Amino acid sequence: MSRRLLNSAALLLLFVLLCRGVDASGGAGEQMESKEVELFRPEEVTVPAAGEERETLDDYSRVLSFHCHSLVDVNGAMLALAIGVYGRSYDDMYYKILAKHNSYGDVSNFEKDVTWAAKQWTPKTVFEQFEKGGYRTFLFGPKAVVKANKTFLLLSNVTDRYSVSFQTPYFWDLELFVGDVTASTAVPGGKTVSWEGPRSLKSTLLTLMGKYSWNVLEAARGTRGIAVGGTTVVFPLFAVSEKAGKEERTCTVIYSEDDGDTWTFPDAAAIANDCMDFTLLEWQGKLLIVTSGSVIPQLLRVYESVDMGKTWAKMVGPFPRQLSQLGLFPMHPSGTDIITATIGSKSVLLYTQMLFQYVPGDTKDVRRVMHLFLSDFVHAHDVGPIFPGSFDPSPFITLLYTKGELFALHAKYGEYGASGSLFFTRLTEQMRQINSLLQTWEAVDN
């Protein structure tokens, strides 16, 4: 077939897809329905964690709001994690880690709505934090990592610098939780999730920190840990030090090659200085750190590792510029997420951004709406609103691509702007559009 006929066929295919609501220039297509399941709800009574006791049910059983956290597919179970805030007041609040898992069975069940019904999810309280000397503390960190049948969750546990008393010493720790998903002995085809932790990593890392005069390690919130090569788990960290009376932040990682028993820094642990924003990605066999500084936040620096995080080098060439052109970095923790995925044979980025949308007749004129984007660094496309018809910007979302399907765990605003319930959503129509779009790109490129 001649090149002219090939081009005509590609243009015809593009025209057909445009008529169906998929355009290659980045405009949003047809309205897409997303089915939601409410998994975590404020004020919902939860059961105590194993080994924990409560003095009063009213004070400690009801979550006030949710902060993050993760959605993973592990050993035949979909696992959702949430960090809940509870307590009597803002100055007297504590945290608990809540989990719900769904033993979905065969992958063919992914397409059935009944698989994801609320009653199919089994709840569990992973951890409950009680007061530490009356000081307000915080839990935060990157999203969970899956390796084989285990889920790794690393969280910073820090005392508020300005709570209660200025004489309060600043307390920090890095705490590791490990979930193990195994076959249930009670329910045929079911799964059981057991948890270990928290296990402190602070004492393990203090000696190595001294080499760089680092005072504190903080788990990088909002980004992701990564399991690479089937053997290594990598978590992103900020190292905080003080020089000339000013706080300095450095990007680093820790990694484990033995299922979390031991953790260490890279050979040169200080990967990037003046590190204000931090995203860890896996792309075509490499680990990437994307960061920005305090002087020019839009000026990205990209570092790469080809040996599972052991050594890092600053990346040169067109790739950092291509990342900048996405307009995604520096990332903001509210309403944004980014994942890499291989769909068919194509490596792609899937990411969310908040866009302004004009609403005719609305008293606020414009609203912020969360959109899903697709890019392969050659093309970029606005797939459209993740939640069509909803102009309530989500303070949190995490995406999961697994077994050919796209899912999300996201929050909705509650009273006074606080995080409301967390919802699980199967993004069926968005995934259909992504598959069609990738076929279009392939036809046009060829």
CA 38 to centroid of chain Cα atoms = 18
From CA 190, how far away is CA 339, in angstroms rounded? 28
> Can you tell me which residue has the tokens 């249930």?
184
From CA 442, how far away is CA 377, in angstroms rounded? 14
Look up residue 150 and give its two tokens: 């285990």
CA 338 to centroid of chain Cα atoms = 7
Residue 1's pLDDT is 44
From CA 43, how far away is CA 406, in angstroms rounded? 29
Q: List, in sequence order, every residue forming a beta bridge with 315; answer none if it has no partner.
A: none
From CA 160, how far away is CA 169, in angstroms rounded? 10
If DSSP codes are grouped into helix, strand and coil, which group holds residue 285?
coil
Instruction: Determine contact, residues 443/94, Cβ cutoff 8 Å.
Output: no
Residue 91's pLDDT is 62
Look up residue 235 and give its two tokens: 């978590």
| H or E segment to which residue 354 belongs | strand 346-358
From CA 259, how far away is CA 265, in angstroms rounded? 16
Annotated domain spans of the chain: 3-222+333-445
If DSSP codes are grouped into helix, strand and coil, which group holds residue 58?
helix
One-letter amino acid identity for 165?
S
Instruction: Determine contact, residues 141/154, Cβ cutoff 8 Å.
Output: yes
Instruction: Determine contact, residues 400/339, Cβ cutoff 8 Å.
Output: yes
Residue 61's pLDDT is 57
**Which of 315-321's residues contact partners 24+ apart within 8 Å by CB, and which partners?**
315/288, 319/377
From CA 193, how far away is CA 102, in angstroms rounded? 10
The pLDDT profile of the chain, 446 residues, written as one tens digit per residue, is 444 433 443 333 333 333 333 333 344 444 444 578 999 988 776 655 555 554 444 444 567 778 778 999 999 999 999 998 877 666 667 788 999 999 998 888 888 888 999 899 999 999 987 655 555 678 889 999 999 999 999 999 887 654 444 444 468 899 999 999 999 888 888 899 999 989 999 999 998 898 889 999 999 988 999 999 888 999 999 999 887 778 889 999 999 999 999 999 999 999 999 888 889 999 988 999 998 876 666 678 899 999 999 999 999 888 888 888 877 776 655 668 999 999 988 999 999 988 877 766 666 667 778 889 999 988 889 998 887 655 565 668 999 999 999 999 998 765 555 567 899 999 999 999 999 999 999 998 88
Query: Where does 21-77 have alpha helices with state H?
Result: 57-60
Provide Rg for the chain, Cα atoms. 23
Sheet of 122-128, strands arranged across? 65-74, 77-89, 92-103, 122-128
Instruction: Determine contact, residues 381/26, Cβ cutoff 8 Å.
Output: yes
Question: What is the dihedral angle through the alpha carbons of 429, 434, 440, 444, rounded to the nearest 10 degrees?
Answer: 160
Four-way CATH pick for 3-222+333-445: 3.40.50.720, 2.60.120.10, 3.30.70.100, 2.120.10.10: 2.120.10.10
From CA 421, how far away is CA 65, in angstroms rounded? 8
What is the full DSSP assignment across 63-110? Answer: --EEEEEEEEEETTEEEEEEEEEEEEETTEEEEEEEEEEEE--SGGGG
Residue 217's pLDDT is 94
User: Omega into 123 within 30° of 0, i.e. cis?
Assistant: no
From CA 374, how far away is CA 432, in angstroms rounded? 13
Q: List, in sequence order, every residue forming a beta bridge with 264; answer none if it has no partner.
A: 255
Q: Which of 405, 427, 398, 381 is nearest to 337 (CA)?
A: 398
